[in-house]
Structure 1
Amino acid sequence: MAGCASSSKTQKQIPEAQVRPTDQQAAVASVSEEYTLISIQSKYLLKDTTQSTVYLYVDALKGKNPIAAQDFIRTYNLNYVIYSDYGTRDRLGYGNVKLDSSNVSKVGDKIVIRYEIKSPNKDYGVLLSEISQTGTLKKVLNDLTIHFKKMAVGQVYGVYTATSTQPLQRHYINLNEEFTLKNTEGSPAQLHVVYYNHDFEAAGSPMNVAQKNAGKTLEIDSTFSINANEPLRFTKEGLYNIFADTSKSEGLGLLVVNERFPKMTRPQLLLEPLLYMSTNNEIGEIKKADDFKKALDKYWLTLMNGNAMLAQQSIRAYYGRVEEANQLFTTYKEGWKTDKGMIYIVLGPPDKVQRSKDREVWTYDRRGNAQNVNFTFNRRNNQFVDDHYELVRYAEYQPIWYPVVEAWRNGSIR
């Protein structure tokens, strides 16, 4: 059963019957063709201190299927405003972006929009992008912090795969996956790489308020140089920090992960995320087992009182969350190991997110016996990525956290 820990689903296509639809069938068909925007993610690359290129990665559906690029162009509009900061009305710029085949493309299941903005003469700003559906009041907003003067390698270079003309929004590359590092001009340059063969720890309990030890020093495994604008492959898993100038302290962190990531299917790897819902003794027993898969099956079956179907449903649900956390929150370490990933796996997606320059607050309307539960994440300086957040921990989370964990353990969450 542990080998079934994948959230991918295959649906068999049924040919349409050639019959005249009833009014009810027509209504269902109409709903099935509705356009829906699920989410927007974003990033930017600086051409120089006067111009920025913005990329929006949009999950959009037509009915239940990912929308085609031409359908998206016909259906949606894009406007943007640049504010001086969160919570202010001080506009630094605004505009409308004409969507066409030159700036809208399909990458996998996502729509990717690329557009240019003139950078204001400020160090920092907040770009608010609004995608609205023509003829309706439906719209989705995305906010993006931009450091207009910070010409670091992470703000100048994007990671492109062999199959995409747009930079990746994610921080990871699969082992032996071909990729290229490019700036917006596509000009050649030598870049410097520091490689760390280090396994970072998973997030600690949200109730653990004990003061952290002083930051550990990472041991460098190796250093080497690469060329921008040339195909590359990294053949060892681990963390690679890429610099244009070795005197700089911040680089472009790139995590190289196994070929199946963000999925987790290998029994040895499936054990690790269980720490968020298991006791130390349970983890220890599985680690001592000669056969990881059998030990994992026994673990889930024991929790579900021998109900194999319930165990399979719980496995799919839990590792589906793990996969989503890997997709959404991977930074210098796997997404499931981050503070955001831990909260997401156990509690699911938040009902509301409030952001400021250096903070995110996730609100859950109801979890367990509590209402309006808030989790605050503070942005922390990090030498690898600029979106590293740490949870503010409170002992008071205990009566909220443990009932949800218990719901995972008895199969109530599916």
Structure 2
Amino acid sequence: MKNIWKNSILILVITLLFGCKGTQRLNEFDLAKNYQIKGFQHEIDASFHSINDSITELIVKINPEDLLFSKTKINNHIARYAIGYKVFEGYNNKLPLDTATIHYSLKQEKITSTKFHKIKLIAQKGKDYVVKVTLNDENRSLSSSKIYTLRKKYNSSRSYYEISAKDQQRVNFTPLQEDTFYINPLNGQQNVKVQIFSTNNTCAAKPYEVNYQYRFDGIPDTSWTTTLTTNTAFPPLKNQYYHFITDTILNDGFSVFPIPPTFPKIGSIYQANGVLGYLISKSEYSDVLSAKYPRKVFENKWLELSGNRQRARNIIKEFYSEASKANQLFTCNQPGWSTDRGMIYIIYGPPRIVYRYNDSEIWIYGEENNLFSEQFEFQRIHSNFSDNIYELKRNINYKVNYNRMINAWIDERGY
């Protein structure tokens, strides 16, 4: 163990713990807290930038408003927090390849802007890694964690590219739809194929629709080849996203999904009508999507479901709040609300127990190993578009309980 001292704001204490022994495999930890959107619980946000073939920079974005500032003896207000990481080869591993915990202190100011902390971790080129990042608010003894995929298998992998928009500190964080963003390849000038795809604004197939199978439409709206140099610019997109093929032989690449300024809220009437599909029949949904006046059909459908305007307003507020949380958690190559996990989250709420494996994720509602609990399994779709694409294993037996949950949304809420 060795200690490294650095200056940042007030005092930083870094403790590196290489080879620290774990007691459980990563896939044996219950990750349900990752899906609890309650203030501090999911405010952690991180990205990666590989500096060379052995060192990668972990960039963690902190919103000081999520921290507790405690009064000191000299009447300052100080937030004390720690950022930790563990690098694993996969979810089946017990021992991290590299781990560290970094302690920070921050003095409260009238305007405290977003903080970006850059931490160097060890990750050799040739593999993709699983990285668990933890944020601990030491003043309130509250922690939050999130698991990320670090892509570093090839020179063309995602972490070897810097992506930035207006704020140059926001390296490899998602740009806004209204912003031009810039790509800077670490390995110098490089030819890439650029593709543009439209985003999906329709709901996922229901859990009992067993004939449905995830099919990604790989035909882009447009494509071209360009040369990436230092800070190559790409213009804003609305309702579309970029995909970059960085190695045509390996079919390696990555996507950039610009988000609207209203994110994670549902920002358009078309998306609002899209989410409605979870509560209504297929034929009704088809009519909603094809309506000439989408706002009018939105209002009429909610009045029909709720019975009166006051209940409609109450249910709409609650329903679309859940859709916003799904956006925050599950957005990938499509809005989070339109994904399989987003659908289950909106209708059933946050899972009580979550286990994640290299190729799947298990959600449990109720007690583990209880016959009366509902369990959902999501298979990971391996893709260079996103590491966050999962498909639900559908089953006809879900129909009764799903319809019961829909009836609960319509009949029991909004009073």
Q: Is the 8 A contact 1:80 1:95 kept in 2?
A: yes
TM-score (norm 1): 0.74
Aligned residue for 1:395, secondary structure, equals coil
Q: CA deviation at 1:290?
A: 4.4
- Structure 1 partner of 2:303: 301
- Structure 2 partner of 1:131: 135
Q: CA deviation at 1:165?
A: 1.0
Judging changes above 3 Å, is the alpha-carbon distance between structure 1 residues 177 and 338 closer, same or farther for their aligned structure 2 residues? same
Query: 5+ unaligned residues in a row in structure 2: which ranges?
Result: 1-37, 70-75
**Equivalent residue pairs, number:** 364
Judging changes above 3 Å, is the alpha-carbon distance between structure 1 residues 399 and 42 closer, same or farther for their aligned structure 2 residues? farther
Q: 2:41 aligns with which of 25, 34, 38?
A: 38
- Structure 2 partner of 1:151: 155
* Distance in 2, Cα, partners of 1:139 & 1:132: 4
Judging changes above 3 Å, is the alpha-carbon distance between structure 1 residues 361 and 41 closer, same or farther for their aligned structure 2 residues? farther
Matched, 1:356 2:320: no
* 1:298-349 deviation per Cα after TM superposition (whole angstroms, max 9, x unaligned): 211121122x111111111122222222232221122222111111222222
- Structure 2 partner of 1:92: 97
Q: Aligned AA for 1:264?
A: I
Q: CA deviation at 1:278?
A: 0.8
Q: Is the 8 A contact 2:54 2:122 kept in 1?
A: yes
Q: Is the 8 A contact 1:38 1:60 kept in 2?
A: no
TM-score (norm 2): 0.73
- Structure 1 partner of 2:85: 80
Q: Aligned AA for 1:143?
A: I
- Structure 2 partner of 1:395: 396
* Distance in 2, Cα, partners of 1:335 & 1:316: 18
Q: 1:243 aligns with which of 224, 242, 245?
A: 245
* Distance in 1, Cα, partners of 2:235 & 2:297: 36
Query: 5+ unaligned residues in a row in structure 1: which ranges?
Result: 1-34, 66-70, 102-106
Q: Aligned AA for 1:280?
A: K
- Structure 2 partner of 1:325: 326
* 1:38-82 deviation per Cα after TM superposition (whole angstroms, max 9, x unaligned): 2234332322320111133456755899xxxxx998411233333
Judging changes above 3 Å, is the alpha-carbon distance between structure 1 residues 192 and 151 closer, same or farther for their aligned structure 2 residues? same
Q: CA deviation at 1:199?
A: 4.6
Judging changes above 3 Å, is the alpha-carbon distance between structure 1 residues 145 and 296 closer, same or farther for their aligned structure 2 residues? closer
Judging changes above 3 Å, is the alpha-carbon distance between structure 1 residues 378 and 114 closer, same or farther for their aligned structure 2 residues? farther
Matched, 1:167 2:171: yes
- Structure 2 partner of 1:382: 383
Judging changes above 3 Å, is the alpha-carbon distance between structure 1 residues 198 and 331 closer, same or farther for their aligned structure 2 residues? closer
Matched, 1:56 2:60: yes
Q: CA deviation at 1:116?
A: 0.8
Q: Is the 8 A contact 1:77 1:133 kept in 2?
A: yes
* Distance in 2, Cα, partners of 1:288 & 1:140: 42
* Distance in 2, Cα, partners of 1:196 & 1:251: 14
Q: Report the aligned-residue RMSD.
A: 3.8
Q: 1:142 aligns with which of 146, 155, 158?
A: 146
* Distance in 2, Cα, partners of 1:73 & 1:63: 10
* Distance in 2, Cα, partners of 1:238 & 1:42: 23
* Distance in 2, Cα, partners of 1:100 & 1:230: 36
Q: Is the 8 A contact 2:137 2:143 kept in 1?
A: yes
Q: CA deviation at 1:148?
A: 4.1
Q: CA deviation at 1:236?
A: 5.5
Aligned residue for 2:405, secondary structure, equals helix
- Structure 2 partner of 1:406: 407
User: What is the percent sequence identity of the aligned residues?
Assistant: 20
Deviates more, 1:122-131 or 1:49-58: 122-131
